[in-house]
Each structure stands twice: as structure tokens, then as C-alpha cells.
């Protein structure tokens, strides 16, 4: 099963292993077992050479550059150190090209989404023209006027939405004060092609109650920009569970389980891979949600520790967010060439035993 949206093929994984290492890691000692590995048998063919990717000549902001064929415009620009804001682009998933924040000018009738467009020979890309900046400003104003963006950004690789708003001079309040939030499940019940006529006094928003229906994670669709990342991660691009999809149409489009049933009834397996790719905090672990509600989530006091998941033989890399000597969140590096950021329910949520204290479980548990 493949998603219908056509996308250009992504370039293959980088040849170097991308397991993050910390600068203070001691040099890894070679164990005798490793050194004793015999030379590869001649019967086992060597790995094929990495495919040759010819260089294409193009210009970015007037600068001539040579870019490997198959790269996207975004990759080419980032390789040149040019910052292009993105919301719906996540390195582990194929580009959806829907937030349109990354548009650049390639001289066409409309602007081009850089995240999903492959470079072509002779392409002339403008990344910061007035036309591009206008489109980005309006997109930031529109999304800011409809969606809670206060958690979008701080952990994005390239800056925060608040910083972009300032940079592009975006003012989301231009469209009027926000309308009152929708009732529980009210947005999930809307019929495509029909809506209540607005009076224009207030700006309609995505605001709605947080969906809290299970112990693992919450869904705050007031923060959802419909970037399709969670759907892709749940479906054909990672998990193959297909528990969620986009339902409805237009502004009433929403992420939904089958028939909008609660998660425990749905096909969800709680791998949490959707949380890992959500760029706006719409999907959040229950722990993080409750700590934020209680005001105890303190990013400044958190450290990250990498380890290997002990549950099975796959050996996924875990990236533990630790605050006050307790694990508060488990991620896996999106760039990791084995996990690509994905975990299962055990790796992502099965950490309570680590911090089980004698006081928690009685005197029998001492270790």
C-alpha cells in the first residue's frame, strides 16, 4: 500500500553512519571478537558501490552551485547554508509539500515548494525575493490565526515559529480576534461541503478540547497544522498500522481514527511514532502533557541520554529526555539509519520500571 501523493524519490541515506556521538565519548576500544572477524568470503559479493549521482549546475540567489542530482531544492539550499523555514518537512519522512512555507521562486507562474521539488539542470532559484517573503509572511499569519503555535518551533532544527514570525513581520491578529473554541468532537462531525456562514467578527480557528482518551498520549488538535506527518508515520511510511487518516475537507479537515472512535478502540498500537514527527506539539505524551499542565515541564533542566533499548534484539537507539533524575520522554534520533526515529510501544513508553523506587512498589523492589 502506498500513499497516492506522488513525490520525487529522496536521495539515499548518507554513507556515513548517523548514530549521534557525544564529544566526550571515549574512543571505542576494539574488542578481540571484532578484530578476529575473518576476511569476507569471496562467495559473498561486496556491497554495490553507492550510486553515482552526477552534479547539476544551478543558481541559488544568483550564486552558481553544483548539486547532486536527485536532491531537493531545500537540500541544495541548506547545503549552501541558506535558511528556509519548514513546518511539514521531517527528515525521516517523504515531503508532503503542504505547509507551503518553504516556497521559493523558480521563475514559474506560481512559487515552488522546495521540500518536494527536485533540482533540475540550469534551475534558477530565488529564496528571499519579495514575492517569496510575502507568501511566507501570509502563510505564517494564516497558520498563526488558526492554530496554537506556541509549542511549534523550539525543537525544530532550524529555528522557531516565533522567530520566523518576527523575521517575516507576520501579524496573525490581522484577521480579527479568534472565535470561541469548538465543542468536544464538534469538528469531527462536520459534513464536507457545508459550513455555518461566518459574520466576520471573529476568525475561525482549530481550537477545540484536547482529546485525552488513553494513558500514553494526548491529541491536542488545536495545535494541528494538518502536515500529514502523523498519518504518514502511522501508515505506509513507517508503522503500517493505518490507525489515522485525514478526514473531512477544507478547513474542516482533521486527523481522525475510523469513525472518530477513541484511540483505545481504534487500530492504534501506541508506538508513538506520530508523536515523534509532530512539529507543533499537537501530539504529546501524557507525561509531557500533564507536566506542562502542572507547570513542571522545564526544558532548560532536561538532559538527553542515549542508550539502547533492552526489550528485544533489534537494539533501537533510545534518546531519553531526563528531568530531575526521571525519564520524562523517550525519542529515537530521526536521522538514525536503523530506526529512522521509530520505536514500538515498549521502547517509547515502557520505561516506568527504570525509575521504580522502593517507595513506589514496596520493599520487594530494591534494585
Partner 1 sequence: MDLHIVAPLASPEERAAIDAVLTPLIGAPASGRAAGERPYEEAHLAHGGHEARSRRDLLLPALHAVQDRIGWVSEPAIGYICRRLTIPPADAHGVASFYALLSTRPLPPTAVHVCDDMACRLAGSERICADLQRALGPEGEPVDEGGATWFRSPCLGRCEQAPAALLTVAGDPARRTGGGPVSGPAILDLLRDGSGARPLGMDDAVDTDGGTSPTEARLARIRRSVPQAGRTGLRLLRRIGTIDPTSLEDFVAAGGYSALRSSIEMGPGAVIDAIVAAGPVGRGGAAFPTGRKWAAVAAAVARPKYVVCDADEAEPGTFKDRALLEEDPFAIVEAMTIAGFATGAERGFIYIRGEYPLGEARMANAIASARSAGFLGADVMGAGLAFDIEVRRGGGAYICGEETALFASIEGYRGEPRNKPPFPVERGLFGGPTVINNVETLANVPWIVLEGSDAYASRGTPGSTGDKLFSVSGHVARPGIYETEFGPTLGEIIDLAGGVRGGRRLRAVLLGGAAGVFVGPDALDMPLTYEHAAEAGATLGAGAIVVLDETADLLDLAARIARFFRDESCGQCIPCRIGTVRQEELLARIRSGRTRGSVQDELALLADLGRAMRDASICGLGRTANEAIASALRLPGVLA
* DSSP-based three-state secondary structure for 228: coil
Which residues are at the interface with partner 1 (CB under 8 A)?
Answer: 1, 3-7, 97-101, 103, 110-111, 113, 116-117, 131, 134-135, 137-139, 142-143, 145-146, 174-176, 189, 191-195, 197-201, 203-204, 225-226, 235, 240-253, 256-261, 265-267
CB of 89 to partner 1, least distance (A): 13
For 100, the grid coordinates are 507551503
CB of 284 to partner 1, least distance (A): 20
Radius of gyration for the chain, computed over Cα atoms and rounded to the nearest angstrom: 23
Extended strands (E) in the chain: 55-60, 63-68, 103-104, 112-113, 124-125, 217-219, 245-247, 254-256, 283-285, 302-308, 317-323, 326-331
* Paired sense of beta strands 326-331 and 302-308, if any: unpaired
Whether the Cβ atoms of residue 332 and residue 341 lie closer than 8 Å to each other: yes
Q: Which is nearer to partner 1, 256 or 321 (CB)?
A: 256
Closest CA to 210 of 234, 174, 249, 182: 182
DSSP secondary structure letter of residue 93: S
Q: Which is nearer to partner 1, 192 or 308 (CB)?
A: 192
CB of 4 to partner 1, least distance (A): 4
Q: Which is nearer to partner 1, 104 or 343 (CB)?
A: 104
Q: Which is nearer to partner 1, 188 or 288 (CB)?
A: 188
CB of 59 to partner 1, least distance (A): 20
CB of 270 to partner 1, least distance (A): 13
Q: Which is nearer to partner 1, 125 or 318 (CB)?
A: 125
- Residue 309's Cα: distance from chain center in Å? 21
Q: Which is nearer to partner 1, 53 or 131 (CB)?
A: 131
CB of 69 to partner 1, least distance (A): 15
d(CA 223, CA 206): 7
Amino acid at each position: 500500500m502506498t500513499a497516492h501523493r506522488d513525490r520525487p524519490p529522496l536521495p539515499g541515506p548518507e554513507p556515513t553512519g548517523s548514530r549521534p556521538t557525544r564529544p566526550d565519548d571515549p574512543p571505542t576500544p576494539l574488542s578481540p571478537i571484532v578484530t578476529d572477524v575473518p576476511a569476507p568470503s569471496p562467495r559473498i559479493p561486496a556491497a554495490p558501490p553507492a550510486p553515482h549521482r552526477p552534479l547539476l549546475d544551478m543558481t541559488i540567489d544568483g550564486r552558481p552551485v553544483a548539486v547532486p542530482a536527485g536532491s531537493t531544492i531545500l537540500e541544495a539550499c541548506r547545503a549552501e547554508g541558506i535558511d528556509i523555514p519548514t513546518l511539514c518537512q521531517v527528515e525521516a519522512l517523504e515531503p508532503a509539500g503542504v505547509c507551503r512555507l518553504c516556497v521559493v521562486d523558480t521563475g514559474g507562474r506560481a512559487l515552488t515548494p522546495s521540500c518536494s521539488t527536485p533540482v533540475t539542470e540550469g534551475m534558477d532559484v530565488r529564496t528571499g525575493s519579495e514575492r517569496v517573503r510575502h507568501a511566507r509572511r501570509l502563510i505564517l499569519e494564516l497558520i498563526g490565526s488558526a492554530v496554537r503555535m506556541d509549542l511549534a518551533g523550539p525543537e525544530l532544527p532550524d529555528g522557531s515559529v516565533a522567530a520566523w514570525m518576527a523575521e517575516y513581520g507576520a501579524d496573525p491578529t490581522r484577521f480579527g480576534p479568534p472565535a470561541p473554541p469548538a465543542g468536544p468532537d464538534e469538528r469531527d462531525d462536520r459534513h464536507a461541503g457545508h459550513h455555518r456562514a461566518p459574520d466576520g467578527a471573529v476568525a475561525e480557528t482549530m481550537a477545540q478540547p484536547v482529546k485525552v482518551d488513553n494513558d500514553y498520549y494526548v491529541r491536542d488538535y488545536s495545535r494541528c497544522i494538518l502536515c500529514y506527518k502523523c498519518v504518514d508515520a502511522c501508515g505506509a511510511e513507517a508503522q503500517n498500522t493505518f490507525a489515522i487518516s485525514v478526514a473531512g475537507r477544507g478547513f474542516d479537515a482533521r486527523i481522525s481514527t475510523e469513525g472518530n472512535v477513541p484511540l483505545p478502540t481504534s487500530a492504534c498500537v501506541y508506538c508513538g511514532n506520530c508523536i515523534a514527527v509532530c512539529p507543533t506539539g499537537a501530539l504529546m505524551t501524557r507525561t509531557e502533557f500533564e507536566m506542562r499542565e502542572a507547570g513542571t515541564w522545564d526544558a532548560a533542566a532536561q538532559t538527553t541520554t542515549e542508550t539502547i533499548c533492552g526489550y528485544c534484539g533489534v537494539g533501537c537507539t533510545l534518546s531519553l529526555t531526563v528531568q530531575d533524575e526521571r525519564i520524562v520522554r523517550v525519542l529515537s534520533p530521526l536521522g538514525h539509519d536503523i530506526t529512522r526515529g521509530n520505536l514500538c510501544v515498549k521502547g517509547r513508553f515502557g520505561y516506568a520500571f527504570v525509575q521504580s523506587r522502593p517507595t513506589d512498589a514496596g520493599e520487594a523492589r530494591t534494585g
